[in-house]
Structure 1
Amino acid sequence: MALSPSAIPDEFRHGWRIVLACSIAAGTGIALVFMNFSMFIVPLSQDLGVSRGDLGAVQAMIITAAIGAPVIGRLTDVLGVRRVYFGCTLIVAAIHVLIAQYASSIYHMAASTAALGFLGIGSTAVVLTRPINAHFREHRGMALGLMAVGISVVSMIAPPVLQWVLDTWSWRAGFLGIGAASVFIGIPAVALLLPDSGRAGSGIGAKEPAAPADRRFLRERDFWLLTMSLIMMSLATAGTISQLAPMIQDEGLDASVAALALSFFAGGQFIGRLGGGWLLDKFEPRRVSFALTLAPALGFIILLSTSGMVPAALLAAAIIGLQQGAELDIFAYFVGRRFDVARYGTIYGALVGLGWIGNVGGLLGMGKIYDLFGTYAPGQALGIAALVISALLVLMVRLPEPAEKAQAT
């Protein structure tokens, strides 16, 4: 039964274009590389003659996102979403072409990854959740979830297609395909759908004067609780995402099952993003966040206690993906509700930048643990402990009621 126009909330009647544009842009942006890089590990290792731990160190060069997030977040407050997204996406696509054409050593990959980390922020939640938080109030969680669904949909479709490209041609063709997706799908979506103006401070098209630089949020207890929670969460999950395909293969399964596991991971993300956003709107956000943050621990337990079982491996991947999907909802929602939206890019950019400490620890740690022990089990056990800490920290964040929002710093 079709919904009548009156049944559609006002926010969505006027904001669906914003959600759709940001969803497509996020799905075809740097997340496409990050979510599927594990598929490149084996062919890169063979072609460049390096270990998985070495490639984990290469992935850790994406730590430049820690610098890029606050810089590009502030630029978004000043210049607007469209300008920042277009510029960053075009440069990132050019880097993909350079990788495909010229990368021949681990040093080339490291330098390229560093550049992708800094500039790729322009196609992430740091930039693309800003117009969502500016436009939506009552249905903010759902809108953030719908926006993030773009990453999940693309991530469910991409692994089998990307595996076919890798098998048919090479890993170089894989990078070319990822770059083409951002240029020929993401950029047109933003150009056609995202308005060039919006609510004051939205930063959609920088039609409004930007808020002056203000660092008072760095003295806020809640900012640091969110930051430490994100660091511990990233420490637990970033290494798993980066090594998920070989991790599944080490369960005694082949590459096709590993590619399917990535699709199941993306399916879990889809549920986590859509369901997480809805839950944040309907129930106490801290309790919802606590439960969702603990979810990957069950996935790790399944991987630790089973071997060679396709259903178990796929279920574990889906459960880990559930939390990864909700992560964007949780932190974008908390920043948008707790702090001033006019400074959203600056604050969320700083949060994400500091959160990359955990990403780098996970990226380096999981590969090195495998090199040292010949198994991912110790890394998975450490991940469970980190998730427990992350969940407890998010419970301690103070969220103002909507009426109190104007007084939040």
Structure 2
Amino acid sequence: MAGWGEFKRGWRLILAATVGIGTGLTTMVFYTMGVFVPSLTKTFGWSDSQVMVAITIVLLGSSVVGPYVGALTDRIGARRVALGSVIGMGCAWALLALNTGSIAIFYATFTILTLCGAGTLPVTWTKSVIANFSERRGLALGICLIGTGLFGALIKLYAFYVMSAIGWRLAYVCIGAFVLCVTLPITFFFFREPRRALDTSAQAPGIAPEAGLGLREALRTRAFWILSASFFLLSLAISGIAPNLERFLTTSGFDLATAVRIAAWYGIGIVVGRLITGFCLDRMWAPGVVFLLMIPTMITFIVLAGGVSSVPVAMLMVFLVGSASGVEYDALAYLVSRYFGMRAYSAVYGSIFIGFAFGAGFGPVTFSKTFALTHSYHTLLFATAAVVLVGSGMLLTLGRYPRFDAARPGVAHPKAGSAWGVSSQENA
């Protein structure tokens, strides 16, 4: 039962982080875009790829401001950053309803949304979770990161049914209202800067917030660049299909309503993937966990390349792709904490997130443009399977976790023991 007391002390933090991540900037944009594409293209005559550029703006913008948000979080605390950003993002969503047909204004509004919502990126929420959990850190991250799956599925259906009832303009307003009425009060009442993250005298055994590498030291390590390249490739592959699911499914012969219901299984897959990943991270070597959990996804992309016509089969395939997305975020936060420590966690995470965001930003547009040129996803899905293999395989070169000494910040010591088996003491 060692380590379970952390959940008794930190359940409010977990709840707030789950909701905050689930309704954060990238989650909301990513999971609603496919729902809005048909209405926007019909109303304004834009192409699918033109609309998908908005995702690129959000994710590339996040990659630019991510390190600054991380540094700000390290400086003034996660709670202040989160509260200000939740308010700004909720208001920015409503601005999208005002567009009268200008694609430039559409892009500008998503730029504003990115700047306002950057403080809701996972780096803000996971900083407090990691600081408050030691022996069950992987599972704690897995639980709070299932927010993207839970709310991804919910917000996709919410946006679709609201848009069907009152139109896409008011649907954007309702998304903003959802953030202000749900995320804001939960953040205000439950998301607190953990005491042990601020006061070294209150540390639980094994949690040392000053131990680890600073950003400059991290940039000089091999692990930093391996993680950046690996998560660029993984996000490029997996993020490419997510906002294009509805279009992919409708071209496979499903009507839009059925396609939306099938696509919702992506979010359910994320939930399961994150819980499994979190459970495994506390017991096994994290790079190996990622590689093994990506194998079903590679197979899924190959199967999808051959086409799918059955609703149950389509649901299963979407579920498996979603589970891979569940692995990504969970593993990234955990890997940063284990290979670089907590000294500059937010700044290092934000910097590695640049690669992740670039991949996620170019993926959807690549899928849309390739389909526009070839009228088929066949070749692209085979290529995606190969990219997943390379991206996850790179992580296997990381080696054992280093050990950090709070008395000597910036110094990492190799950790003895098997790379695949991780004991509770090592996790502390």
For residues 136 and 403 of structure 2, the distance between their equivalents in structure 1, rounded to whole angstroms, comes to: 12
Structure-2 residue corresponding to 1:385: 386
Match 1:49 to one of 45, 62, 80: 45
RMSD (Å) for aligned C-alpha atoms: 2.4
For residues 235 and 21 of structure 2, the distance between their equivalents in structure 1, rounded to whole angstroms, comes to: 19
For residues 20 and 59 of structure 1, the distance between their equivalents in structure 2, rounded to whole angstroms, comes to: 27
Match 1:99 to one of 96, 99, 119: 96
For residues 234 and 290 of structure 1, the distance between their equivalents in structure 2, rounded to whole angstroms, comes to: 14
Say if 1:131 and 1:202, in contact at 8 Å, map to a contact too.
no
Say if 2:3 and 2:136, in contact at 8 Å, map to a contact too.
no
Q: Does 1:163 align with 2:164?
A: no
Structure-2 residue corresponding to 1:131: 128
Say if 2:273 and 2:327, in contact at 8 Å, map to a contact too.
yes
> Could you list the per-position Cα deviations for residues 258-299 of structure 1 after superposition, in whole angstroms to 9, with x for gaps in the alignment?
111222111100100111100111222221111223332222
Say if 2:132 and 2:194, in contact at 8 Å, map to a contact too.
no
Q: CA deviation at 1:197?
A: 4.4
Secondary structure (helix, strand or coil) at the match of 1:243 reads: helix
Secondary structure (helix, strand or coil) at the match of 1:44 reads: helix
- Structure 1's 106 and 399: CA in aligned 2 closer, same or farther, altered over 3 A? farther
Say if 1:59 and 1:110, in contact at 8 Å, map to a contact too.
no
Q: Does 1:110 align with 2:107?
A: yes
> Could you list the per-position Cα deviations for residues 296-340 of structure 1 after superposition, in whole angstroms to 9, with x for gaps in the alignment?
222222221233221221111100000101111101000011112
- Structure 1's 399 and 44: CA in aligned 2 closer, same or farther, altered over 3 A? farther
Letter of the 2:152 partner, please give it.
S
Q: CA deviation at 1:155?
A: 2.1
Unaligned residue ranges in structure 2 (runs of 5+)? 201-208, 414-428
Structure-2 residue corresponding to 1:66: 63
Unaligned residue ranges in structure 1 (runs of 5+)? 1-5
Structure-2 residue corresponding to 1:293: 294
Say if 2:339 and 2:402, in contact at 8 Å, map to a contact too.
no
- Structure 1's 306 and 200: CA in aligned 2 closer, same or farther, altered over 3 A? closer
Secondary structure (helix, strand or coil) at the match of 1:282 reads: coil
- Structure 1's 212 and 402: CA in aligned 2 closer, same or farther, altered over 3 A? closer
Say if 1:64 and 1:115, in contact at 8 Å, map to a contact too.
no
Letter of the 1:292 partner, please give it.
L
Structure-2 residue corresponding to 1:345: 346
Say if 1:142 and 1:277, in contact at 8 Å, map to a contact too.
yes
Structure-1 residue corresponding to 2:412: 408
- Structure 1's 140 and 196: CA in aligned 2 closer, same or farther, altered over 3 A? closer
Say if 1:90 and 1:183, in contact at 8 Å, map to a contact too.
yes
For residues 202 and 337 of structure 1, the distance between their equivalents in structure 2, rounded to whole angstroms, comes to: 21
Q: CA deviation at 1:401?
A: 6.0
Most deviating of 137-146 and 109-118: 109-118
Match 1:140 to one of 126, 134, 137: 137
Letter of the 1:74 partner, please give it.
A
For residues 265 and 301 of structure 2, the distance between their equivalents in structure 1, rounded to whole angstroms, comes to: 15
Q: CA deviation at 1:68?
A: 1.4
Q: CA deviation at 1:8?
A: 7.4
Say if 1:135 and 1:199, in contact at 8 Å, map to a contact too.
yes
> Could you list the per-position Cα deviations for residues 239-275 of structure 1 after superposition, in whole angstroms to 9, with x for gaps in the alignment?
2112111111111101112111222111100100111
For residues 371 and 261 of structure 1, the distance between their equivalents in structure 2, rounded to whole angstroms, comes to: 23
- Structure 1's 115 and 396: CA in aligned 2 closer, same or farther, altered over 3 A? farther
Q: CA deviation at 1:108?
A: 1.7
Structure-2 residue corresponding to 1:172: 169
